[in-house]
Amino acid sequence: MNTQIRLLKADEIDELVNLFNVVFQKAYYGYPMSKEKFLQRLNNPNFYKRALVISSIDKIGGFILANTAKRKSKWYTTNKGYISLIMIHPEFRRKGFGKALIEEALNFLKKKGVEKVQIGFNPLTFWPGIDLNWDKAISFFKKLGFKEKRMSASMVANLETLKVPEKILEREKKLNKNKIFIRPYLKNDREVLLNFIKKNFTYGWYEEVKSKIQKVKVGFTGYGLNLNTLYNPKSVFVLLKEEKIIGFSMFSENFEKKELGHFGPIGIQKDFRGRGIGSALLFKTLKEMKDRGMLKADLWTDYGGYQAKRYYPKAGFKVVKKWMEMALSY
């Protein structure tokens, strides 16, 4: 094969999108990929990128996208790099092309001064990690020195069959007696809610909640079934104890496929956890999604915790995908 590694050309996007759909046809998320969604990732102005192809006489045999943030921000440090996507056409596998692409990408990232290269969730990636079913991909990265870091899961619940258990309805009444109420988010809650998140949860959540309490179409979110997500303040609940916020939950709609919804995040103030309040809020939110016409809810969470093992399954959520985050440190 007469092949070379070179920079991606602007007129090759259609072929690249086709390659994506050949390589990831069995993938659950992001398939089929459209040109628009692909370009959104490729051209994010906040990141440096190296987009390389394996080019042969008649086709593109592979692609890699490596990124690092241009500026330090609340979200990103400039000492981290990302392999946002790598794909090799089936006919070009086991010939050393994947390794060659990674080496080129790592050279680029090293020159940019990164100390750590991650494969997993970032604003440009197409998935929150490597699908655990792609064990060949995991072995490939291990061979190149990447280590397994964190496992996360995508879970899905069927809302058509969702029934709020009698026990939960009773629990909500009991909570009300104790002056704990769930109500829809109102505009005036904004500041108090954001302060609550800042105090009780991570910075990532603060940013996520901040963007989700405004009405905005966000396109490809990367971790949900929702490839066309509508954030909406009407999709937020707050949990109050004597008018003080002690918890919240939210979801987003898919503006193309109305039957799909993305759940989360949800959180309860630490000293109120483990008393059944979270379950009441979870069911209330899912019931609202169902009432709005959604048939399925999906979410993304850590795989190892009680959330994936005990909490979400109570509402019918089942793990549909497991993802492995990997990293290489210098």
Ligand X SMILES: CC(C)(COP(=O)(O)OP(=O)(O)OC[C@H]1O[C@@H](n2cnc3c(N)ncnc32)[C@H](O)[C@@H]1OP(=O)(O)O)[C@@H](O)C(=O)NCCC(=O)NCCS
For ligand X, the closer of residues 276 and 316 by Cβ is: 276
- Are the C-beta atoms of 325 and 149 separated by less than 8 Å? yes
Among 93, 112, 190, 275, binds ligand X (CB under 6 A): 275
Number of residues that bind ligand X (CB under 6 A): 18
The end-to-end CA distance of the chain, in Å, is: 34
- Give the nearest distance from C-beta 128 to ligand X in angstroms: 12
Number of H helices, E strands in the chain: 9, 15
Nearer to ligand X, 141 or 323 (CB): 323
Residue 3 found at the interface with ligand X (CB under 6 A)? no
Query: Does residue 322 touch ligand X according to CB under 6 A?
Result: no
Q: Which stretch binds ligand X (CB under 6 A): 208-216, 285-293, 304-312, 318-326?
A: 304-312
**Which three-class secondary structure string do you get for 223-281?**
CCCCCCEEECHHHEEEEEECCEEEEEEEEEEECCCCCEEEEEEEEECHHHCCCCHHHHH
Q: Which of 87, 159, 277, 286 binds ligand X (CB under 6 A)?
A: 277
The secondary structure element, H or E, covering residue 167 is helix 166-177
Taking CB under 6 A as the rule, does residue 250 contact ligand X?
A: no
Sole window of 45-53, 146-154, 190-198, 273-281 interacting with ligand X (rule: CB under 6 A): 273-281
DSSP conformational letter for 145:
T
Among candidate residues 312, 313, 216, 229, the one with its CA nearest the CA of residue 266 = 312
When asked if residue 279 is in the footprint of ligand X (CB under 6 A), the reply is yes
CA 194 to chain centre: 21
Q: How far is the CB of 247 from ligand X (least distance, A)?
A: 7
* Site for ligand X contains 265 (CB under 6 A): yes
Distance of closest approach, residue 66 Cβ to ligand X, in angstroms = 29
**DSSP helix/strand/coil, 285:** helix
- Of 268 and 326, the one with the shorter C-beta distance to ligand X is 268
Q: Does 120 bind ligand X (CB under 6 A)?
A: no
Burial of 115 (0-12, 13-18, 19+ CB in 10 A): middle
Residues 284-303 that bind ligand X (CB under 6 A): 301
The residue type at 157: A
In terms of CB distance, is 152 or 254 closer to ligand X?
152
State how far the Cα of 269 lies from the Cα of 274, in Å rounded to an integer.
Answer: 10
Pull the structure tokens for residue 186: 């109102």
Q: Which stretch binds ligand X (CB under 6 A): 83-91, 212-220, 229-237, 277-285?
A: 277-285
Binding to ligand X by residue 254, rule CB under 6 A?
A: no
Does residue 93 interact with ligand X by CB under 6 A?
no
Shortest distance, position 325 Cβ to ligand X, whole Å? 15
CB distance 62 to 52 below 8 Å: no
Rule CB under 6 A: which of 36-55 touch ligand X? Answer: none
Q: Can residue 311 be called a binding residue for ligand X (CB under 6 A)?
A: yes
What is the DSSP code (8-state) at residue 121? Answer: -
- Position of minimal CB gap to ligand X: 278
Which member of 130, 278, 284, 297 binds ligand X (CB under 6 A)? 278
| Beta partners for residue 14, in sequence order | none
Chain positions contacting ligand X, by CB under 6 A? 264-268, 273-279, 301, 306-307, 310-311, 314
